[in-house]
Amino acid sequence: MHRILFVAFVLFLPDSLLGQETKQDPKKEAAPVAVPYRLTDTQHVMVRVKINDKGPFNFIVDTGAPIMFFATGPAKKMGLEPKEKALNVLNKVEIEGGLVLTNVKCRIETPFQLEGMNGMGLAGAELHGILGYTVLAKYRMHIDLTKNKMQWTPLAFDPPPPQPIKDKGNSQAGLEMIGTLMKFLGLLSGMKPAGPPLARGSVGIELAEKDDAVVVTRVLGQSPAAKAGLKAQDRILQVGKDEVKTIADVRRRTATVLAGQTVRFVIGRGDEKMEMELKAGEGL
């Protein structure tokens, strides 16, 4: 997960940013939650996150970062101003899939890695931040890179704050220059920065594989699927013009559907075969 890129963050966090976290009461381990993700063009694992009910924003999952970073640009648009010698506290952080954290400490800053990748459009999407150790350590994570969802199990664990490593030189300024240089090189080479994030479409169904077919096990209330008339026990036969035989087939063919776009399904209901068109909603 490209940890090498983020090791340098540990060196430059001032002592005043790393106060002790408030301990939470122990609690029983919760059930795992399926968190959708995608691989960027640079093969980073990216999830979508809402902050204070705004977004979604694109965050890289990386255990090499000691804390959560939120890029300065989108943060300021939300009215969040970076603190020079302290961490900001985000009232609510919602990770797509249904994970919600409150009072999350975060550094509002655009790390040079994000500035460089955004400046050269390398990731294929605009990146808005990094989920680091102090967030990720709250979960047991199972990632299968052949799928498009991973399992995060909430843990009764408060990760200790990272300890700074004293740096005698002015290495931070040099690292920040790398991001600016990458952005400049991107302009010279004609590479365009990634565009603003587009909300991924959501249909609102849960699926299972049964008797060599993809079967709808649940239709979410008020979802696009419910409005189109899709029902539990319907079999998904086609998405668009493509035949589907597995859940992975369905996910691959809907992965690029954006909110507001229409998706054509061919379904089997009993002995009948019918077509449905669903207007995708927002995925988070």
What DSSP string describes 233-270? TPEEEEETTEE--SHHHHHHHHTTPBTT-EEEEEEEET
Q: Decide which of 1.10.540.10, 1.10.12.10, 3.40.50.1000, 2.40.70.10 is the CATH code for 3-189.
A: 2.40.70.10
User: What pLDDT, on a 0 to 100 scale, did the predictor assign at position 279?
Assistant: 85
pLDDT digits (tens, 9 = 90+) for 189-198: 455 555 554 4
Domain 201-282 grouped into CATH 2.30.42.10: yes
Asked, colleague to colleague, whether 3-189 and 201-282 share their fold, the answer is no
Residue 274: beta bridge partners? 267
User: What pLDDT, on a 0 to 100 scale, did the predictor assign at position 282?
Assistant: 64
Q: What is the CA radius of gyration of the chain?
A: 21
Q: Are 244 and 254 in contact (CB under 8 A)?
A: no
Residue boundaries of the structural domains of the chain: 3-189, 201-282
* Average pLDDT estimate for 136-150: 90
Please state, as a whole number, how many other Cβ atoms lie within 10 Å of the Cβ of residue 66.
24
pLDDT of 51 above 80: yes
User: What pLDDT, on a 0 to 100 scale, did the predictor assign at position 161?
Assistant: 72
Q: Could you give the count of Cα atoms lying within 13 Å of 24 in the half-sphere of its Cβ?
A: 14
Q: Is this structure's pTM higher than 0.75?
A: no
Phi–psi pair at 91, nearest 5 degrees: -60, -40
Across 3-17, 42-56, 78-92, 270-284, least confident range = 3-17
Q: Which two tokens stand for residue 53?
A: 């009910």
* Average pLDDT estimate for 201-223: 85
CA dihedral over 77, 82, 88, 94, signed as positive or negative: positive
Closest of 79, 27, 17 to residue 52, by C-alpha: 79
Q: Which two tokens stand for residue 278?
A: 């669903």
